[in-house]
Amino acid sequence: MNRVRPLLLVLGILFASVVLAEFALRVLRPVSLQYYYDLKRLHAYHPDYLVALAPNEDRVIKHHQDLWTGRFTTNSLGYRGSKDPDDRPVLACLGDSLVMGFGVSDEDTFCAQLDGSVLGGKNHQAMNLGVDAFGSVGFQKRLTEAADKLKLSTVLLFVSPNDFTMPPELEKRGVKSDDVIDQERRDNPELLKYFRIQFELTRFSYLLHASKLSSEQLILEAKTRRNSIRTNLIRAGIVAPGPEETTRSEGFGRYIANQFYSFPPHKTCEPTSVSSWSCPEPIPEYIKGSCQDKPPLASDLAPLPAITQESYLKMIELSKEKKFKLIPIFLPVQVEELYCGMHGKSHPLHDYAVRAAAFFARHNVPTVDMNTHIKDICGLPTPKISDQVIPGDGHLTVSGNNWAARAIQAELKRMDLNRAF
């Protein structure tokens, strides 16, 4: 009995501390945590594709770094910024956070701006099926579900590079593509059980959500620091680079000189500022060397992962079964893609489109590459590329969504005139 009382006292103190911390966080609402918690509450667990948007939501979400503020509403089916289905045929936008419209309010998303599009002589209702963090598996499952609920006429599938590939610098930090994550979950069903438990608990508890975010950030920071240390050791010539590493040795002496004895340039040697600006916008020096005169051949690139191909095939078969038109679209949003495309060139970050387009071509599904519409940015009221993309966020601004909507409408009109619908 004497041992039980201290144990109960400790447990009571821990429980009281947890309750107090939960209460304090809900009252204080730290800006950075509140942003992620609001996003969490916007979502709901789904038994088939894990994460969906909760139905009948209405939330104003403010980015924790003040990059954007947007109003997010969902209809009874959990589709963002869309009214409940009416009698019109549906033009659906299917994709991840880019399609869902991170960074802008409902009415500013490019999908919302497609509402009322006339295809095949019929007025269409636009329906936004986008959910952030979706990969090809999520697209296929959400589309299958939507096909039983909507009068689908045309589905615009916005293929994202995050579906099946990641830039090398992100891979080094342990960031995985959505399809790789889905493949791991398929190979290990226990991960699905764990995902649901942590999803529901962190959606309910502010404290648990904050703890999860903190642990993820610590793991990511540790990987980043390890990679940074290794990079510097390679540059100093202390460690040899691996076969897939691009960093090369500078020599120990030069490395030390560059790190500790480099001086800022004399002011007379500094480049003069450019007072005038024109469109097309000049390519920054740090991007110019990576622009390609033309994209590589699909045969020179790796094929799509098996799980990606499987998902695409299911969507193609579904479109035939339900008799709707499936149009895969490649919408460039990375600043490197935009700068290179502005001058009629391609960037390696857009190679994912070459790989996916080749797959769809083999299955007689025409695709649309919006890379050809980047020059149309010059016709916008705010034509700078920096005005189209939220800095450090990777999503389109209001101006960027306007450009995307105009470009997509132009493509739909072209196909309509060619009697594709």
DSSP secondary structure string for all residues of 278-340:
-SSPPPPHHHHTT-BSSPPPGGGSPPPPHHHHHHHHHHHHHHHHHT-EEEEEE---SHHHHHH
Q: Is residue 360 part of a domain?
A: yes
What secondary structure does DSSP assign to 22-78, as a single string?
HHHHHHH--HHHHHHHHHHHHEEEETTTEEEEPTT-EEEEE-TTSS-EEEEEB-TTS
Q: Is residue 8 part of a domain?
A: no
Q: State the pLDDT at residue 96.
A: 95
Q: State the pLDDT at residue 2.
A: 65
Return the number of other C-beta atoms located less than 10 Å from residue 38's C-beta.
16
Q: State the pLDDT at residue 269.
A: 44
Return the number of other C-beta atoms located less than 10 Å from residue 242's C-beta.
10
Q: Is residue 189 part of a domain?
A: no
Q: State the pLDDT at residue 359.
A: 97
Q: Is residue 221 part of a domain?
A: no
Q: Is residue 177 part of a domain?
A: no
Tell me how many domains the chain contains: 1
Return the number of other C-beta atoms located less than 10 Å from residue 223's C-beta.
14
Alpha carbons 75 and 111: distance in angstroms, whole number: 15
Among 191, 199, 189, which residue's Cα sits nearest to residue 45?
Answer: 199
Q: Is residue 254 part of a domain?
A: no
The amino acid occupying position 230 is: R
Alpha carbons 57 and 42: distance in angstroms, whole number: 7
Q: State the pLDDT at residue 65.
A: 85
CB 98 within 8 A of CB 396: yes
Q: State the pLDDT at residue 417.
A: 78
Strands (E), 124-234: 125-128, 152-158
Could you tell me the residue range of the domain that residue 358 belongs to? 22-170+278-417
Alpha carbons 164 and 136: distance in angstroms, whole number: 8
Alpha carbons 129 and 77: distance in angstroms, whole number: 10
- For residue 58, what are its two tokens? 């209405």
Sign of CA dihedral 300, 304, 305, 310: negative
Please give the chain's pLDDT, 421 residues, in tens: 567 777 777 777 776 776 677 777 777 677 778 888 889 889 999 999 999 999 999 999 999 888 899 999 999 999 999 999 999 999 999 999 999 999 999 999 999 999 999 999 999 999 999 999 789 999 999 999 999 999 999 999 999 988 998 877 677 667 788 998 999 988 998 888 888 888 888 887 877 777 776 676 666 556 555 666 666 666 666 767 766 555 666 665 665 556 555 445 444 444 444 445 578 899 999 999 999 999 999 999 999 999 999 999 999 999 999 999 999 999 999 999 999 999 999 999 999 999 999 999 999 999 999 999 999 999 899 899 999 999 877 799 999 999 999 999 999 999 987 877 7
Q: Is residue 188 part of a domain?
A: no
**The CATH number of the domain where 132 resides is what?**
3.40.50.1110
